[in-house]
Structure 1
Amino acid sequence: MSTENTDRRKFLRQAGLTVGAATVLPLLGAETAEAAGAGAATSGSSPDRLFRDGRFKEADQGYARILSKDPNNARANAQRGYIALLSNRFADAEKFLMKAIGLAPGDVFSKQQLADCYVRQDQFAQAVPLLRAIGQDAYAKQYASLSGKPYEVRGAQSTRLPFKALNPLPLIEASVNGGPAAKFIIDTGAPLAFTMETAKKAGLRSVATSTEAVGYQTVTMHHGVVESIRFGDIELRNVPVVWHDGELPHPLGKPQPAGTFGSTLFYHFLTTIDFGDQTFTLRQKTSAQLNAFQAEARRANTDRLPLWLADTRIPCSLGSLNGYGPKVVSLNAGIEGAAGAASVFTTEAIAKRAGARLDDTRPNLYGTKDDATPFVVHRTSLGRMTARNLYGFALKKPLMDDRFRFQTLGNFSMEFLKPFALTFDYAGMSVYVSHT
């Protein structure tokens, strides 16, 4: 496996595998989005500008003011729906997105967000017609094939699994359809995906196929439903899954993992990824479990930060570089550490603004100077959790901004996260960060 799997293309393109999300949606650029906001101000404090800057609460208030005067403003409804979805406020997201689509039936992005709103609640049947309408037939067929309760949780209230490896990516063991335990990658930005071999051993049936991007590879994606996945003492049943003929990251001379687990699975639990302790914990989403964890977090003086979920499965929170921030950052444990131990991916403009030391004399991700420049940032922070003198890459183009439609400070990868434990609460939309 070449270390090219660690390049920026993996980060830039891996979100193309969203569950029920289009890989090539026509997205508005910043200028087009601004121009489309009929009734919105054009000053630096306009809701469009505030949203673009990741100031979601203030932007939402601005769109609300627009709607108080013009309740049929399609863009303001769409933006309020999208902001609500970022925080898993499903009732508000559904209300505003449905209104936006009614006012602007050609709004593909809002249809996608509404489909995602239903998918996140395991209301797959309601997502099916929306996915068909935007040309996502493979996902529509997959979700229509579900029978029984999707993501049914059985077993213990919690389970804790040790990492079987940390480099190039964390691995845990799980069993598929009662088979022997196999190693899977923990990747916050990945879909629930299997290799072809794993799917064959599990006896999975493909109900549809699509062609999609996995890292720098174009793969044939198969869509189906897995009857059972067991993690230690917890079992999940009736779970939508994809499998493909691409290659997953693995050390040279070692077999590739059986698949990937990401946020589409994690948000069904109170999920802790403890990189420092090299353990993975799933807790069922009950009030008792959350209260017990929160009490433990208070005793440990753990940082509690806001959590947003963008582009179906990319968790975001607030971070800073050299004190520049806090601003919205994406947290992606699925970017391998082998790429020069890069911990931060950002743009050249942001790296310079943050006072990072760019070194264009060193080779970048491709061994040239054309795509990204290595840099060292003296202080990288997520809440109070700080690491010093980390290595990163400054890209010439924005990261996920075109897909998110808002700007991020950058992506914090596993190399930054290694000393920390992260617990994702997708009900309260908080991420808890502590040093382990």
Structure 2
Amino acid sequence: MADDRQWGRRSVLRGAAVLAGAAASVPLLGGAATALAGGGDADALFKAGEFERAGRAYEEILKRDPKNLHAARRRGYVGLLANRFADAEKYLRMALALAPGDKDASHFLADCYIRQDKLGLSAPLWKAAGEDGYATWFAAVRGEAYQVHGETARLPIQQMDPMPLVEASINGGPPKRFTFYTGAPNLGLRASVAREAGLSPVASQKIDFEGGSVWAYYGILDSFKLGGIELRNVPVGWSATESGDDVDTESDGLIGMWVFYHLLTTFDYAGRQLILRRRTPEAARKARAAATRAGVEPLPLWLAREQYLHSRGSFAGAAGSRTGMVGVNFGGVGEIAAGMRGKTAEQLGIRTDHDRQIGTFAHSHPAVVYPCYPKEIRIGNAVAKDIYCYTNPNQPVNVPWPYGTGFDTMGWFSHCFWKPYNVTVDFTDMNLYIARGAAA
């Protein structure tokens, strides 16, 4: 089975939502990366989030040195970040031809396949990447996964805090209370709900969780209905204590990124609803046209490590402001508007209250963070000033693969930041549209 740092990240319902965004972002390098990026160094460009330029730089390396494994692997990763699957496959296959069984290239290509619902093709690659649990899980899926039935759904957000709740039904049963969090990967259920639905696991793993241990299980759900949208043949996970009890009872399950990237979703915080549409090129065009009419500019979107969304944003403090890569999270638990690394807060002179530390969890493990109050945080036209955030001084400046994304991120935007807005996430053209007020 996969080691517990990976299963812990993917499995436990509450663990996926606590400390929303801490796993989804890594800090910026600072001035050194900017200087190197200006010089055209491929790796520095990549770390600075200049993915288009980095991709071209890796291609130039490969022209001079066709056997450069690092350049091929990294060029494939650049394609994957933007959901450019043909590019990703081309260069990741090149990397695997150079080094059969390379774990990193295998992981990237496996992710590339699951994003396209080619789960069977992903299974041997997950195994080569050391993810035996994923390999077993995806090999067990028969037929087309995530079959979408219906065109549109509007789900009222029944509760906004401390975590958002919407209603959905499992295998045609009565409505259940589901939270959502885009920093979590798969659809997750409470253990008792999984038993009620008659689910049997195809893979399992004992993992560390908040100072103890729990069992994570994975199976396949026949039907998941969200208002007028139904998904069929859906990979699903659930967790239980040693005695078989529920790990968390605050909701019946958690809707993760893999559900959302199969749809065109508007997280309508201002209107207190989720708007789900069948994801097609035509739907993406309509979303773009609606944004244009509303005067909303598209923001770039990148998807890393199977579930972590990123775009460009800025933080400002007494020492100035900086624009760069930021994590983008919807849903989850917490009252902060954003989080940031200690170096980000320190470099920008962001007021931090070191006398009032907060003990919490990240990746199901203990973490200590501190309240901080940036002068401004901004993404596109969405902005908040002098707002409550927190910072973690112990997160390293950059977390390389396989423990992080490998590129620099200043921080992340969280659940509370979005409340005055509606946000449409378009995985077809990889754009983010943020508009003030409720969606039409």
Equivalent-residue separation in structure 1 for 2:207 and 2:266 (angstroms): 29
Per-residue CA deviations over 1:113-143 (Å, capped at 9, x if unaligned) read 1100000000011001111223322222221
Aligned residue for 1:176?
170
Which range moved further: 220-229 or 281-290? 281-290
Equivalent-residue separation in structure 1 for 2:37 and 2:326 (angstroms): 25
Aligned residue for 1:151?
146
Amino acid of the structure 2 residue aligned with 1:432: Y
Aligned residue for 1:242?
237
The alignment partner of 2:374 has SS state of strand
Normalising to structure 2: TM-score of the pair? 0.84
Aligned residue for 1:233?
228
Aligned residue for 1:416?
417
Q: Percent identity?
A: 36
Normalising to structure 1: TM-score of the pair? 0.85
Distance 1:130 1:262, change over 3 A: same
Which of 366, 374, 378 aligns to 2:375? It is 378
Structure 1: gaps (5+ residues) = 16-29, 35-40, 250-254
- The answer as to whether partners of 2:284 and 2:428 remain within 8 angstroms in 1 is no
Deviation at 1:290, TM superposition (A): 2.3
1:81 corresponds to 2:82? no
Amino acid of the structure 1 residue aligned with 2:431: S
Deviation at 1:163, TM superposition (A): 0.2
Which range moved further: 291-300 or 381-390? 291-300
1:101 corresponds to 2:96? yes
1:342 corresponds to 2:336? yes
Distance 1:183 1:328, change over 3 A: same
Equivalent-residue separation in structure 2 for 1:214 and 1:432 (angstroms): 36
Which of 167, 172, 181 aligns to 2:161? It is 167
Distance 1:377 1:312, change over 3 A: same
* Count of matched residue pairs: 399
Structure 2: gaps (5+ residues) = 1-13, 361-366
Distance 1:431 1:215, change over 3 A: farther
Equivalent-residue separation in structure 1 for 2:279 and 2:223 (angstroms): 19
Distance 1:241 1:365, change over 3 A: same
Aligned residue for 1:252?
none
Aligned residue for 2:432?
431
Distance 1:280 1:7, change over 3 A: closer
The alignment partner of 2:387 has SS state of strand
Equivalent-residue separation in structure 2 for 1:275 and 1:131 (angstroms): 36
Distance 1:224 1:4, change over 3 A: closer
- The answer as to whether partners of 1:270 and 1:425 remain within 8 angstroms in 2 is yes
The alignment partner of 2:358 has SS state of coil
Distance 1:238 1:281, change over 3 A: same
- The answer as to whether partners of 1:248 and 1:257 remain within 8 angstroms in 2 is no
Amino acid of the structure 2 residue aligned with 1:192: L
Deviation at 1:388, TM superposition (A): 1.0
Amino acid of the structure 2 residue aligned with 1:381: R
Which of 97, 108, 116 aligns to 1:121? It is 116
Equivalent-residue separation in structure 1 for 2:110 and 2:16 (angstroms): 31
Which of 371, 388, 391 aligns to 1:394? It is 391
Per-residue CA deviations over 1:277-324 (Å, capped at 9, x if unaligned) read 111011111233223222221121123100000110111111100273
- The answer as to whether partners of 2:269 and 2:419 remain within 8 angstroms in 1 is yes
The alignment partner of 1:390 has SS state of coil
Deviation at 1:199, TM superposition (A): 0.6
Equivalent-residue separation in structure 2 for 1:5 and 1:130 (angstroms): 24
Deviation at 1:189, TM superposition (A): 0.9
Equivalent-residue separation in structure 2 for 1:86 and 1:280 (angstroms): 25
